[in-house]
Every structure is written in structure tokens, then in C-alpha cells.
Amino acid sequence: MAKWDKEYLKLCKKILTEGIEVENRTGINTIKIPGYNFMFDLSEEFPFLTTKQLYYKAAIKELMWIYQVQSNDVRWLQERNVHIWDEWEVDEDGIYRIYYPEGKVPENAPSETKVYYNTGITGTDGREIMELMYVTKSGKVYKESDPKRPASAKPMTTTATQKAQESGRVLRSARYFGPEYAHTIGHAYGYTVNFYKLLDRCINLINACKIDPTISDGRRNIICLWQENDIKDAVLKPCVFCSEWDVTDGKLNATVHQRSCDVPLGLPFNVTQYSVLLYLLAHITGLEPGTLNWSIKDAHIYKNQVEGIEEQLSRQDEIDRGEREDIPAPELWIDPEIKCMDDIDNRELSNVKVLKYRHHGPIKFPLAQ
């Protein structure tokens, strides 16, 4: 069994046996533990789950969306048949809509929902202060606090989109971003990498540390996706929000910080993505891959994901008893002709491939919005 499978399932067991059930913004309770860390030696094994199928092409394409094309436009992913971010896409009216999870719709759910704007200010109750939006008959939009708001302007409301009506979904809340944010996830991820030139700086520092390992900035090589000036304009605040990069003894190492971790859905994707990124940056800068250190603040499993995790744990038990095949981890192949991130084929992944990947079949986990 792959080492990552063992480490991952160890975390799952710990959450199920020691975790605390808590409420959260999605309406579906989680079982969580505070704080968890693990480390991989990428020179020994490519961390990749085999006890369930991982749709790795989608994971790598999302990685390219963030760090190669450095985009926040969801359509780029959709053109490549990746729909990870569909639920968080701002619509053409500049509104981000959140729906009640299946089976959690209250009987008194309103047919119309007021639209709010995030002020970026945290109140004394620890919640972000939201400001009601107003709209005139001509369609001009105002914030509630705007002194120029005419008395004739009415609170902005929205009903479920046609797609939602067809699927029977009910709108829970709506947040205003503006038409200029249409089809994006707001100021997050690839937007942040591009705006602050975070990857360019990271690669420059890696190359500088190869020449002179003693430079002070070698210990300041940080890609931080959590930028206070922009975070209020993000549909979903970055879960993996920071990575630190280190060059030691000819090897490239990274430490990744994750504030919130959906263990069944997010973690397998995230670990694969940052492993691939480390391999790629090591390849581009002429270094060997070293260690990937991972730190999680809030590791959780949603209650409606428990059955799937139990199925995955049972597969491990069957492997241990010799009733299932013990499948080793696959390998990552990077075309030697790749000299920079722009050289990567982000549509077909013809020059970045996962080889010898076998698994024990898919397990479907529901998504909490």
C-alpha cells in the first residue's frame, strides 16, 4: 500500500474516533480535530491515493489554473472538463448564490433572498459584517451606506436561477460582487498569484539560493494566497493559503499550511497538487525533489461523508488481511523538454503524466457549498 494511503487513513480514523461534531456555515455538521501534521519524502514516493480513485487530471489542471495561467475565471476549467469550482462561480449579474444542501431546506424558506455585500469588517460576534444592496428601477446598484442612494431604490432580491428551479434547489443566501466579477471566484487563488507575482518571486529566490544558500531571503520564500486587501472579494477564502519553499543540499523542500481541510474531498487533491508543483519547480530549477511538510489547522469530515470514509477504511482492512491487492503508488513523469511553467500542456497534460496508476475504484463524496 502507498505510504500516503496509510497516513491518510490514519488521519481519517483519528477524526472518526477522537473528533468533535460541530456546526458550520454549510448547514451540514462536521467531525473535526484541531491540528494535524505529516511529512512526505518525495524522493522516495509520489504521494497518491490507491484505496480510492483520484481524478488526478482535474487536480493537475486546477493546479495549472492557479500557478501557470494564474486565473480566477471558472470558464478556463470548464473548457477542460473540470467542474470543481462550478458551485462557486459568480453569475452574469455579479451575484454569488448559495443553496441549501439536499435535505436541509427549512419549511419556511423564502421564495426571494436579499442580496448583501461583504464589507470586509469582522464584528464583535466574529462574523463578517454584510451590507444590504439596493437597486433602482433602471438597474443601478447602491450599497446601503452609500449617501448617494436614492430613496426610490429598493432592497436587491434574487430568486433561484432557472437551473436551480429545474433541479429543485432552494436559494439560501446571495452575495453581490458586481458584473466585472462574472464567471470568476473573485479575488482568490490564481488572481492573487498573478497580481502579486508570487510564483515569479518564488522561482527567482529558489534560483538565487542555488547560487548562495546563505541569502536571508532564502528563509522568506513564501507564497501567501491570503492577502488582506483582497480576501473580502473572494467567493471562498483559500483553504490551502500558504506555502514556504526551501533549498537545502541540492533539494527543494516545501511546507504547506491549510487552514480548513475537507479530508475526503479536498486533501487528496491538495496533496497531489502541491507534490506535482514541488516536482515541477525542482525540475525547472535543476534541483532534486525533497520533503513536503503539511500542516492542517482544522481537519474535518462532513457527516454525509462518513459512509464513504468507512468504505475506504474497510478496503485497507481487506488489504491487510490479504483479501485485496496491495497496490503501490504510481510515478510522476515530467518531460525533460519542460524548461518553464509555460511549457506545460495544460489541456491534454501530454508532458506531465502519472504512470502506473492503479486503484481500488471510486468512492463518491458529496460536496458542501
Distance (Å, whole) CA 155 – CA 309: 44
- Residue in this structure with the C-alpha cell 515541477, named with its chain if needed: 280
Distance (Å, whole) CA 18 – CA 12: 10
One of 209, 239, 242, 261 is an active-site residue; which one?
Answer: 239
| Residue 180 DSSP class | G
Got the DSSP string for 77-100?
A: HHTTT--TTGGG---TTSEEEEEP
Cα–Cα distances (Å) from 280 to 130, 207, 224, in that order, read 41, 14, 19
Query: What are the E-state strand segments in the chain?
Result: 20-22, 30-41, 95-99, 113-122, 128-135, 141-143, 154-155, 157-158, 171-176, 222-224, 240-248, 251-262, 288-302, 331-334, 352-355
Task: Residue 335: count other Cβ atoms within 10 Å of its Cβ.
Answer: 14
Active site residue 239: yes
Got the DSSP string for 282-334?
A: HHHHT-EEEEEEEEEEEEEEEGGGHHHHHHHHHHHHHHHTTSS--PPP-EEEE
Question: Cα 196 from chain centroid?
Answer: 19
Phi, then psi, of 134 in degrees rounded to 5: -120, 155
Among all residues, which ones are annotated catalytic? 239
